[in-house]
Amino acid sequence: MRGQRSEAWAGPIYLDASALVKLFVPEPESDRLNRALVGTEDVILSDLALTEMASALGRRTREGALTHAESRRLYREAEKLAASCRRAELTPPVHRLAERLLLTSRNVPLRALDALHVAMALDAKAATLVTYDPRLRDAAASRGVFVAPEISF
């Protein structure tokens, strides 16, 4: 990625599904996210984010916002990006960490997929978790993970 970065986030940077989708589907904040990631070399992605992206693309196809061909093309592009990134894996220890997060979360409503993303980011020693999901933002921040970008909902 070349160009000028609009903001600098400490790496490694873990991208959740909401961020991954914004890289390929024009949405609010897509341009800002793309600018922020220009020149970033240590990006972490998970197969879980790819699966969630497939779900998001499928929903947009069912709603008529994308054609089947567009969805397949966007997913192939996401797979290419993922191949160039460091991968976070859903290993048994990551599952156990996610379960501990779910069982100890007091003030932040935590869903299973959110807990898995936080656990993978922690396990991968990500310095920054990029998400646009308000619940995941709260869950990660409550565990001391730096969350980007700064946005208001």
User: Residue 135 has what pLDDT?
Assistant: 87
Residue 2 pLDDT greater than 90, yes or no: no
pLDDT digits (tens, 9 = 90+) for 93-152: 999 999 999 998 777 778 999 999 999 999 999 999 999 998 899 888 888 889 998 765
Average pLDDT over residues 30-54: 93
How far is it, in rounded angstroms, from Cα 4 to Cα 52? Answer: 29
Tell me the pLDDT tens digit for each residue of 55-79: 999 999 999 999 999 999 999 999 9
Q: For residue 149, is the peptide bond before it cis, meaning its omega torsion is within 30 degrees of 0?
A: yes
- Look at the alpha carbons of 81, 87, 91, 93 in this order and tell me if their dihedral is positive or negative: negative
